[in-house]
Each structure stands twice: as structure tokens, then as C-alpha cells.
Structure 1
């Protein structure tokens, strides 16, 4: 009985919890994760606005008869409303799909500096068939 109590005391001494170094590691990991989320969240929010604008333009009446210039003008109006700044005219194209229908394609990448010389590169491509 006495030996068992002695063993329990020794175990309690060895199990005191996290040290300052382990806490610093946990907080550092949380800090880096928070930094990455704060840098990348606006990019994904902007992509949601791009999807909305592409779907609206593609669903408009007579969209399949539009050329690239007309599609770009309509997209710019939506981008202005939603404050999308990452897309240029070269990122937008109107392509013919395998089944012969026209598709509106918006393909772009965003490079966001994270810290020092570390960047995150995020690439998006939205393909939506144009409405007849």
C-alpha cells in the first residue's frame, strides 16, 4: 500500500502538464495558421463574387451570341459592384465546348505574400455554359 502511494506521487511529479516550450509551440502554430487564414480568406471571398458574376452573365438572355468584348463589359459591371480587382480582360475567354455549346471561361491566379519571401499562389478556373 505504501509502495503504491509512493509510485502515485512519482507519477504525479512527472505529469505536471505542458511546459513553456510546448505552450510556445502551440501558440506559434495557432499564430501561423491564423496568419494564413487571414491572408487567404479574402481571396476565396473574392472568388465567390467572381462565380456569382460569371453565372449572372452566362444566364443573361442572348449570352451565347455575345463575343468576348461584350462578355467582358458585362463582367466588369458586376465586378465593379462586387469590388473584384484581381481579374483582367486576358483572364476571360469564350470557348466552344466539346458538345458545341459556348462556355464562358474565367481562369486566373492570385499570388499573395504571406511573410518575408513566402507567397501563396491560388489558381481558379470557372467554366459556365452560355445561355441560348
Structure 2
């Protein structure tokens, strides 16, 4: 009998998650999923930009003019569905080995909800640094 009474007291002390707690956790999960869904396309496009720049590095960039490099980027970017970066955004520098290094830095602003937005800075180079 005493064991049963002690067991019932322990059961009373045990409590599960409250409705308010579940709503708060649910709201946090929904907000996190919303942010990921809004930001993921920008990161996917950035990976495409990096892929295009890496592919360009395999070309002989040292023998190409700046206009040819920018045109090459434009063609590759249109195939890779890159809309954010244009050839005019590229920075072309001469490398010590006689080649060229193409780099780009840009920002993407993604609205989350209402007047809340996320600003993401991206930077990529053709030599991978």
C-alpha cells in the first residue's frame, strides 16, 4: 500500500510538455524553416558562381583579354542559371605566374517577412583562395 501511494505521488510530479511550450517550439521551428527556405537559393547560386569561376581557371586566362574573360563568364553563367553576378562585376587581376585570377564579391538581400531581411556577403575567386 505504501509503495502504491509513493508511486502515485511520483506520477503526480511528472509533467509533460505544456501547450504553450509546444507552441513556442513549433513557432521557432517554422521560423527556422522559413529562413532556410529563403536563404538556400542564394547559397545554391553562389555554388554555381564558384563552379563557373573554377571552370574558367582551367582555360588559359592569361592569353585572354578582359572582355573575352567577361564574355566567357557570361556564357557559362547563363548555362548555370546565375542571374545575380554579371561579367561587369568581375575583378580580373594578373597572377604572378603570368595567368589571370578572376574574383567577384557581391551581396544578396533576402526578405524574410515584413521588414525583416537577411544580408549575405559572398566572395569567390577562380584560384579557390
On the 8 A contact 1:39/1:112 being kept in 2, the answer is yes
Counterpart Cα distance in 2 of 1:109 and 1:52: 18
Matched with 2:94 is 96
RMSD: 2.0
SS in structure 1 opposite 2:126? strand
TM normalised by structure 2 equals: 0.86
Pick from 105, 124, 127: which aligns with 1:126? 124
Q: Which 10-residue stretch deviates more, 115-124 or 92-101?
A: 92-101
Give me the whole-angstrom Cα distance separating, in 2, the residues matched to 1:100 and 1:71.
15
CA contact (8 A) 2:70 2:88 kept: no
Matches within 5 A, 1:56-71: 56-60=55-59, 62-71=60-69
Cα distance in structure 2, aligned partners of 1:111 and 1:33: 17
Distance 1:117 1:89 in 2: 31
Partner of 2:22: 23
- In structure 2, the residue matched to 1:11 is 10
Moved over 6 A (4+): none
Structure 1 unaligned regions, length at least 5? none
Structure-2 separation of matches of 1:53 and 1:46: 11
Equivalent position of 2:50 in the other structure: 51
Normalised TM-score (structure 1) = 0.84
Cα distance in 2, alignment partners of residues 64 and 117 from structure 1:
46
Q: CA deviation at 1:97?
A: 4.7
DSSP 3-state at the match of 1:119: strand
